[in-house]
């Protein structure tokens, strides 16, 4: 296995010249055969010889040399807040698949460990290693965008928008929230509270709007006190839920803006002895396999996160660097009813 015949035999990679020599042609011929150059006319016999040599030597073109010459790295970058966040895991998977489909490579970095780590990623990216960069989530300091523009590196915001940056792709967060609210209204709820996302998060604003719009469409009120800000963590969801449940006019249902926060909501309900869904219905945005194993199993709105990642790569790869991109990935929203929602107590059957 790892025991080579000699410690000294650092394997030299097979090069174009090796293949050419073996096939008895020039390097340029091998290159053009492999890239299917349409302007190359070559005898079938010669081509066969070339391909045989390629196969026999198991030749792979050196990606670095090729990139240096073609000025394309065939690599895309993806910056995320944190690998531990399952929402971004799905986005990565979609982006990875799309990159592979284009014969490219995806380089994913996280900035969770702080600004030094973010700076490192930005620095690396300035060295010609990527053809474009996806910026997913709420970590993108404005400065980076200017720097990327200065260096001529195309970028695209994913799952967030910025007023001054007209290149983004997002989910239909408003509709996702609306779908959840209409489900609750359909069950007979009227006092539907909202555990919202962070104040500066674009997704949070859009889900909040979806909640408000759906409520108003049904003639229900959305007092400021019915929405409590939280971050997208169990801790945050727990604190926000605790606040909602200690109010006088307790809601009969809660829309939680994010599934991680909803885990905190369920925990607090258990702790306070509030039965779900008996006394309180709970529904969250984003679906995870985990949701089926919470107690009670959590009703969610499934969102096309993988599709978001895929689409982001496609847009980045196929659009001029200075063209505006403002796309909402639609469809595929689905309410997954797992039993944490039910008609409010005392509702007419």
Partner DNA sequence: CTGAAAGCGCTTACAG
Dist CA 93 CA 312 (whole Å):
12
Q: Which of 67, 205, 314, 343 binds a copy of itself (CB under 8 A)?
A: 67
Q: How far is the CB of 120 from DNA (least distance, A)?
A: 18
Answer for which of 21, 61, 124, 325 binds DNA (CB under 7 A) is 61
Angstrom CA distances, 32 to 9, 35, 58, stand at 31, 5, 17
CA separation, residue 310 to residues 138, 170, 304 (Å): 19, 12, 10
Stretch that binds a copy of itself, among 32-40, 194-202, 250-258, 286-294 (CB under 8 A): 286-294
- x-or-dash string of contact with a copy of itself, 310-349, rule CB under 8 A: ----------xxxxx-------------------------
| Dist CA 294 CA 297 (whole Å) | 5
Helix 86-101 to helix 305-318 angle (10° resolution) is 40
By a kind-dependent CB cut-off of 5 to 8 A, residue 34 interacts, out of DNA, a copy of itself, none, with DNA
Query: Which of 4, 24, 48, 278 touches DNA (CB under 7 A)?
Result: 24
Q: Does 213 bind a copy of itself (CB under 8 A)?
A: no
The CA distance from 198 to 204, in Å, is 6
* Residue 120: half-sphere exposure toward Cβ, Cα within 13 Å: 10
Name the strand (E) or helix (H) holding 243.
Answer: helix 234-245
With binding defined as CB under 7 A, does residue 66 bind DNA? yes
The interaxial angle of helices 234-245 and 259-272, nearest 10 deg, is 50
Pick the piece of the chain touching DNA (CB under 7 A) from 19-27, 152-160, 165-173, 283-291.
Answer: 19-27
Report 117-136 residues binding DNA (CB under 7 A): none
DSSP state of 321: T
Which option in DNA, a copy of itself, none does residue 26 bind, with CB closer than 5 to 8 A by kind? DNA
**Binding to a copy of itself, residues 76-105 (CB under 8 A):** 83-84, 86, 89-90, 92-93, 96-97, 100, 105
**266 makes contact with DNA (CB under 7 A):** no
Give bridge partners of residue 228 from the DSSP assignment.
195
The reply to whether 150 sits near a copy of itself by the rule CB under 8 A is yes
Report the residue from 62, 221, 225, 330 that binds a copy of itself according to the rule CB under 8 A: 62
Cα distances from 140 to residues 115, 226, 228, 317, 343, in angstroms, run 10, 30, 25, 20, 42
33-41, 194-202, 221-229, 294-302 -> range binding a copy of itself (CB under 8 A): 294-302
| Widest distance between CA atoms in the chain | 88
Is residue 46 near DNA by the rule CB under 7 A?
yes
186 is written with which tokens?
């359909």
- Residue 43 interacting with DNA (CB under 7 A): yes
Give the total of residues touching DNA (CB under 7 A): 33
Q: Which of 42, 97, 124, 336 binds DNA (CB under 7 A)?
A: 42
Contact, 82 vs 233, CB < 8 A?
no
The contact set with DNA (CB under 7 A) reads 12-17, 24-29, 31-32, 34-35, 37, 40-43, 46-47, 59-62, 65-66, 68-71
């Amino acid at each position: 296995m790892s025991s080579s015949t000699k410690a000294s035999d650092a394997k030299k990679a097979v090069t174009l010249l090796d293949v050419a020599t073996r096939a008895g042609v020039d390097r340029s011929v091998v290159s053009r055969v492999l890239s299917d150059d349409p302007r190359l006319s070559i005898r079938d016999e010669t081509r066969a010889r070339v391909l045989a040599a390629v196969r026999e030597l198991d030749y792979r073109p050196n990606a670095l040399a090729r990139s240096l010459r073609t000025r394309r790295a065939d690599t895309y970058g993806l910056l995320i807040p944190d690998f531990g966040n399952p929402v971004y895991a799905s986005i990565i998977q979609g982006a990875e698949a799309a990159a592979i489909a284009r014969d490219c490579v995806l380089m994913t970095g996280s900035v969770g460990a702080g600004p030094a780590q973010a700076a490192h990623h930005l620095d690396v990216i300035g060295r010609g290693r990527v053809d474009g960069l996806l910026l997913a989530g709420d970590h993108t300091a404005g400065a980076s965008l200017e720097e990327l523009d200065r260096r001529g590196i195309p970028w695209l915001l994913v799952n967030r928008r910025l007023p001054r940056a007209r290149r983004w792709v997002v989910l239909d967060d408003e509709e996702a929230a609306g779908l959840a609210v209409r489900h609750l209204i359909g069950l007979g709820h009227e006092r539907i509270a909202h555990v919202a996302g962070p104040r500066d998060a674009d997704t949070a604003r859009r889900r909040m709007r979806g909640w408000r719009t759906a409520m108003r469409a049904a003639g229900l009120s959305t007092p400021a006190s019915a929405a409590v800000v939280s971050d997208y963590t169990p801790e945050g969801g727990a604190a926000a839920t605790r606040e909602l449940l200690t109010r006088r006019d307790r809601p009969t249902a809660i829309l939680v803006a994010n599934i991680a926060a909803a885990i905190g909501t369920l925990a607090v309900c258990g702790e306070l002895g509030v039965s779900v869904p008996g006394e309180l219905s709970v529904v969250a945005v984003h679906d995870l396999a985990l949701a089926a194993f919470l107690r009670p199993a959590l009703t969610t709105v499934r969102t096309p996160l993988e599709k978001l990642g895929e689409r982001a790569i496609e847009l980045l790869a196929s659009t001029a660097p200075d063209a505006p991109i403002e796309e909402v990935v639609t469809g595929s929203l689905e309410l997954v009813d797992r039993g944490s929602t039910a008609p409010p107590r005392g509702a007419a059957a």
